[in-house]
C-alpha cells in the first residue's frame, strides 16, 4: 500500500510539472508572438510599409519631347513625327493555346517577324530580329501585364490594319511615340547628325536621369550630339500602382514632370548650303570629265561660308556626304556598313575632322608674322629669279649638294614687295622672308620658332570650338616636334616649305577660314558657331545671338591693312592670282582673296606611286571675303586633288559669294513687297 501511494504521488507530481511546463511554454510563446507583433506593428512598421509600397508602387519614366532644329530662316532641319510601335501584353493574350497561336501567327505575318526561333534572321534594315514568341515569353516571365514592344516604327498602313483588327487580336496594341525626321537629309547631315540607341557604356548614366534604354535615343553626330542636353530636355517620372502581376491599376501622381527640350535655330542658310554643294559637285564632275585617267579621283571637297564679323557659319559642305534620313528611326546597318567602309569617308566631316596642307593660302600667316617681327617692311623689295639654291651647310662649296627651291612662275616675278608678294603668290619671296637668304634677308629670316608662335596666335594647334564633335586641332610644327615624330633635325629647307604652307604644315578648312576671318575682321577673333538662337517649348527665345569674341590677334592694324591690301591686289592688279574672281564672277562687289595650290603625298597618292619629286598631285584652295573694307561674307573652297586653286576652287567660292548677294537682294525685295501699303489720307 505504501509503495503504491508513493508511486501515485510521483505520477501525479510529474503530470502536474508537465502541465506547468506546457503552460509556461504557451505563455512564453504568446509573449514572444505578442512581442513580435508589437515589433512589426509599431517598431518596424515603417520598414514593412515601405517594402509593401515598394512592391506596390513603381516609378515610370515619361519621355520628354525633343526640341526641333531650324535653319536661320526657320526651315526645319530636324523635326519630331509620330511613329507606331506594336506591343503585346502577354497576360491579355487568349488562355487557349490554339487561339493564342492564331493571334501570334497573324501578327507575325503582318509584321514580317519570325514566329519562333532565335537570332537567325534580320529585318528589312539588316537589324537582327528576335522571334515573336521569344520576346513575349521573356516579357511574360518578368511582368505579364507590361506591354512588350515587338516592333518599332511600323508602317502606318500596318498600324491601321492592327487597330482595325484589334477585336480579333487580344493583347495586341499600337503605341504612338515620337521619332526624328530630317527633311533636308544628306544636304545637312554633317551639321545635324543623327540619333541612335543609348550605348551600353553610358547606360547607367542615362538610366539615372530617367531614360529608358529600349525606348529613348540620343544624338550620335553633328548638333544632335553636341547639343544633346539642350535638345533632349529631361524625362519625367510618374508614380503608378501595380498589382502582383505587374499590371498598372492607377496613376498616383507625378514626382517630376517631363521637361521638353529646347529647340535650336542654327546659323545655317539652307538655300546657300544647297548652292554651295551644287557648285562643288559640279566642279568635281567636271574634273572627272576632263581628267578621267587620274587614278586618285575627284570625290572630296569642302565649302564653308561665314560671316567674318560674327563667326556665324552660313554654309558648311563636306563632300561626299551621307543620308542621315536612313538613320531616322533605327540604324540602317547595311547602309551604315557601306558608308563607314567607303574609302572617301562620307561619315567624316572634312571641314573639321581632316587635316590638309594649305599651300599658298597660308602665306597670309607668314606675311603677318614677318611684318610684325620686323623681318621686312611693306615696301622692301626682294628679287625672284624663278628659282634659288639653298646651299648645304655641311657642303657649302659643292653646288651639287644644294637644294633647289622654285617659284610657281618659272621665269620669276622680278622685284617683289609684301603686297605684290601676296597678290602674285610669289613662292621665292616667302622662302626668303621665312628662312632667310644671303644678304637680302640676313640670318634665318622669320625662322620656324617665330612662325610657330604666330601659328599659335592664329589658332593652329587648337580647336576652334565650333559645336561639332571630333574637331581636329592639328599640331604646331617645329624642331622639337620633328625630332619627336620623325627622329630628325629641323632644316632651313623645312622652314622654306613651312613659310608657304607646305612640308609639315597642315590645317582643317575651318581653321583656314578662321585665319581669313581674323584678317578681314582687323584682328578680332570670333568663335565659329552654328547656333543662332535657343528657343523654349513655348516659342520664347531664351538665348539670342551675340558674337563670341575669343581674342585679339597681337598684330598692329597697319600690318593687317597691308595683308588686306595684298589680298585685294590679288583680284585687281596685273598678274594677281585671283584676278578672274573679280572680273568674271563678282564685278559688282569689291572682294579680297587668296589662292592656294598645295602639293601632297598622302597614303592614297603613295599607294599609286604618284609622289614624284617635282610632279606631286595638288589640292586646290581658294578663300575670299566681301565687300572689301566692310566684310559680311567669307568663303573657303577646297578640292582634294583638284590641282590649281585659281582654276578649280576659285569658281566654286566666287559663285557662293554671288549666290549670297543674290539671296540677300531677293529677300530684301520680298520683305519690301510684304510690307503693308500705307492707307492714303482722305482728301479734305
| Residue 624, helix vs strand vs coil | strand
For range 280-299, the mean pLDDT: 95
Cell of 463: 580647336
% pLDDT > 70, the chain: 87
pLDDT at position 400: 53
Cell of 301: 571637297
Domain ranges of the chain: 35-64+237-261, 79-181, 270-669
Q: What does the alpha-carbon distance between residue 140 and residue 144 come to, in Å, rounded to a whole number?
A: 4
* Burial track 218-248 (b if 16+ CB lie within 10 A, e otherwise): bbbbbbbbbbbebbbbbbbebeeebeeebee
pLDDT at position 402: 74
What is the CA 322 to chain-centroid distance, rounded? 13
Q: What does the alpha-carbon distance between residue 178 and residue 125 come to, in Å, rounded to a whole number?
A: 20
pLDDT at position 57: 62
DSSP code per residue over 4-71: HHHHHHHHHHHHHHHHHHHHHHHHHHHHHHHHHHHIIIIISHHHHHHHHHHHHEEEEEEPPPPPPEE-
DSSP code per residue over 54-121: HHHEEEEEEPPPPPPEE-TTS-EEEEEEEEEEEEE-GGGS-SSHHHHHHHHHHHHHHHT--SS-SS-E
pTM comes to: 0.86
* CA-based nearest residue to 636, from 468, 516, 482, 495: 516
* CA-based nearest residue to 554, from 422, 447, 455: 455
For range 251-259, the mean pLDDT: 77
For range 330-351, the mean pLDDT: 89
**CA angle centred on 550, ends 544 and 552, rounded to 5°:** 130
Instruction: Fill in the DSSP letter of residue 469.
Output: T
Of the ranges 249-253, 625-629, 637-641, which one carries the lowest mean pLDDT score? Answer: 249-253
Contact between 656 and 672 (Cβ < 8 Å): no
For range 563-576, the mean pLDDT: 98
pLDDT exceeds 90 at position 333: no
Query: How many CB atoms within 10 Å of residue 19?
Result: 10
Of the ranges 111-120, 464-473, 654-663, which one carries the lowest mean pLDDT score? Answer: 111-120
Q: Which residue has the cell 629669279?
A: 385
| Segment 471-526, tens digit of pLDDT | 999 999 999 999 999 999 999 999 999 999 999 999 999 999 999 999 999 999 99
pLDDT exceeds 80 at position 194: yes
For range 528-539, the mean pLDDT: 96
Cell of 96: 487557349
Average pLDDT, the chain: 88
pLDDT exceeds 90 at position 675: no
Residue scoring higher pLDDT (263 or 131):
263
pLDDT at position 262: 96
pLDDT at position 306: 98
Q: What does the alpha-carbon distance between residue 169 and residue 155 come to, in Å, rounded to a whole number?
A: 18
Of the ranges 158-167, 223-232, 454-463, 539-548, which one carries the lowest mean pLDDT score? Answer: 158-167
pLDDT exceeds 90 at position 393: no
pLDDT exceeds 50 at position 1: no
% pLDDT > 90, the chain: 64
pLDDT at position 56: 57
pLDDT at position 150: 86
Q: What does the alpha-carbon distance between residue 656 and residue 274 come to, in Å, rounded to a whole number?
A: 10
pLDDT at position 6: 55
For range 107-116, the mean pLDDT: 86
Report CA torsion sign: 199, 200, 205, 207: positive
Beta bridge partners of 535: 263, 541
Query: What is the pLDDT confidence band of residue 343, given thresholds at 50, 70 and 90?
Result: very high
Of the ranges 254-258, 316-320, 499-503, which one carries the lowest mean pLDDT score? Answer: 254-258
59-68, 140-149, 334-343, 566-575: which has the highest mean pLDDT? 566-575
Class of domain 270-669: alpha beta
* CA-based nearest residue to 92, from 149, 162, 169: 169
Q: Give the β-pairing of 195-197 and 217-219.
A: antiparallel
Amino acid at each position: 500500500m505504501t509503495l503504491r501511494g508513493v508511486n501515485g504521488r510521483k505520477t501525479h507530481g510529474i503530470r502536474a510539472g508537465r502541465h506547468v511546463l506546457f503552460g509556461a511554454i504557451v505563455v512564453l510563446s504568446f509573449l514572444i508572438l505578442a512581442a513580435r507583433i508589437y515589433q512589426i506593428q509599431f517598431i518596424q512598421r515603417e520598414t514593412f510599409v515601405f517594402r509593401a509600397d515598394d512592391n506596390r508602387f513603381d516609378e515610370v519614366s515619361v519621355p520628354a519631347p525633343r526640341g526641333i532644329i531650324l535653319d536661320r530662316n526657320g526651315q526645319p532641319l530636324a523635326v519630331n513625327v509620330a511613329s507606331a510601335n506594336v506591343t503585346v501584353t502577354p497576360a491579355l493574350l487568349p488562355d487557349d493555346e490554339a487561339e493564342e497561336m492564331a493571334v501570334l501567327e497573324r501578327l507575325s505575318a503582318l509584321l514580317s517577324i519570325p514566329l519562333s526561333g532565335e537570332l537567325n534572321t534580320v529585318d528589312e534594315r539588316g537589324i537582327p530580329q528576335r522571334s515573336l514568341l521569344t520576346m513575349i515569353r521573356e516579357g511574360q516571365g518578368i511582368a505579364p501585364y507590361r506591354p512588350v514592344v515587338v516592333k518599332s516604327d511600323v508602317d502606318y498602313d500596318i498600324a491601321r490594319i492592327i487597330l482595325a483588327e484589334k477585336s480579333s487580336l487580344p493583347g495586341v496594341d499600337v503605341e504612338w511615340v515620337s521619332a526624328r525626321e530630317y527633311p533636308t537629309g544628306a544636304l545637312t547631315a554633317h551639321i545635324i547628325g543623327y540619333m541612335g540607341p543609348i550605348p551600353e557604356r553610358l547606360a547607367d548614366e542615362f538610366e539615372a536621369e530617367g531614360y529608358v534604354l529600349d525606348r529613348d535615343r540620343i544624338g550620335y553626330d553633328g548638333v544632335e550630339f553636341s547639343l544633346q542636353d539642350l535638345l533632349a530636355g529631361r524625362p519625367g517620372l510618374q508614380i503608378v500602382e501595380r498589382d502582383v502581376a505587374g499590371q498598372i491599376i492607377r496613376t498616383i501622381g507625378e514626382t517630376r514632370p517631363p521637361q521638353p527640350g529646347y529647340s535650336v535655330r542654327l546659323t545655317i542658310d539652307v538655300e546657300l548650303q544647297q548652292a554651295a554643294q551644287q557648285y562643288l559637285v559640279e566642279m568635281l564632275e567636271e574634273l572627272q570629265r576632263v581628267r578621267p585617267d587620274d587614278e586618285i579621283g575627284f570625290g572630296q571637297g569642302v565649302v564653308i561660308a561665314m560671316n567674318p564679323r560674327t563667326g556665324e557659319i552660313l554654309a558648311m559642305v563636306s563632300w561626299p556626304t551621307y543620308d542621315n534620313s536612313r538613320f531616322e528611326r533605327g540604324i540602317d546597318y547595311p547602309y551604315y556598313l557601306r558608308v563607314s567602309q567607303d574609302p572617301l569617308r562620307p561619315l567624316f566631316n572634312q571641314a573639321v575632322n581632316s587635316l590638309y596642307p594649305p599651300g599658298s593660302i597660308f602665306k597670309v600667316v607668314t606675311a603677318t608674322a614677318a611684318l610684325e617681327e620686323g623681318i621686312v617692311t611693306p615696301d622692301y623689295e626682294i628679287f625672284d629669279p624663278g628659282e634659288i639654291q639653298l646651299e648645304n651647310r655641311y657642303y657649302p662649296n659643292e653646288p651639287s649638294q644644294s637644294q633647289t627651291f622654285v617659284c610657281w612662275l618659272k621665269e620669276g616675278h622680278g622685284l617683289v614687295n609684301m603686297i605684290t608678294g601676296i597678290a602674285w603668290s610669289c613662292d621665292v619671296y616667302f622662302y626668303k622672308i621665312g628662312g632667310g637668304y644671303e644678304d637680302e634677308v640676313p640670318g634665318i629670316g622669320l625662322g620656324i620658332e617665330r612662325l610657330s608662335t604666330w601659328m599659335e596666335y592664329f589658332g593652329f594647334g587648337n580647336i576652334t570650338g565650333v559645336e561639332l564633335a571630333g574637331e581636329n586641332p592639328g599640331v604646331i610644327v617645329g624642331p622639337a616636334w620633328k625630332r619627336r615624330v620623325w627622329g630628325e633635325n629641323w632644316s632651313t629647307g623645312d622652314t622654306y616649305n613651312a613659310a608657304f604652307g607646305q612640308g609639315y604644315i597642315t590645317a582643317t578648312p575651318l581653321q583656314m577660314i578662321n585665319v581669313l576671318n581674323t584678317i578681314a575682321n582687323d584682328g578680332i577673333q570670333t568663335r565659329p558657331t552654328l547656333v543662332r538662337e535657343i528657343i523654349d517649348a513655348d516659342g520664347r527665345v531664351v538665348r539670342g545671338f551675340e558674337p563670341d569674341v575669343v581674342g585679339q590677334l597681337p598684330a598692329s592694324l597697319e600690318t593687317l591693312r597691308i595683308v588686306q591690301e595684298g589680298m585685294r591686289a590679288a583680284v585687281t592688279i596685273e598678274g594677281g592670282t585671283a584676278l578672274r574672281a573679280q572680273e568674271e564672277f563678282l564685278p559688282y562687289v569689291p572682294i579680297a582673296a587668296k589662292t592656294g595650290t598645295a602639293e601632297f603625298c598622302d597614303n592614297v597618292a603613295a599607294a599609286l606611286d604618284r609622289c614624284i619629286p617635282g610632279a606631286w598631285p595638288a589640292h586646290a584652295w581658294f578663300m575670299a571675303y566681301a565687300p572689301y573694307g566692310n566684310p559680311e561674307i567669307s568663303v573657303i573652297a577646297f578640292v582634294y586633288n583638284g590641282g590649281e586653286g585659281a582654276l578649280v576652287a576659285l569658281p566654286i567660292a566666287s559663285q557662293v559669294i554671288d549666290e549670297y548677294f543674290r539671296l540677300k537682294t531677293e529677300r530684301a525685295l520680298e520683305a519690301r513687297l510684304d510690307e503693308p501699303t500705307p492707307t492714303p489720307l482722305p482728301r479734305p
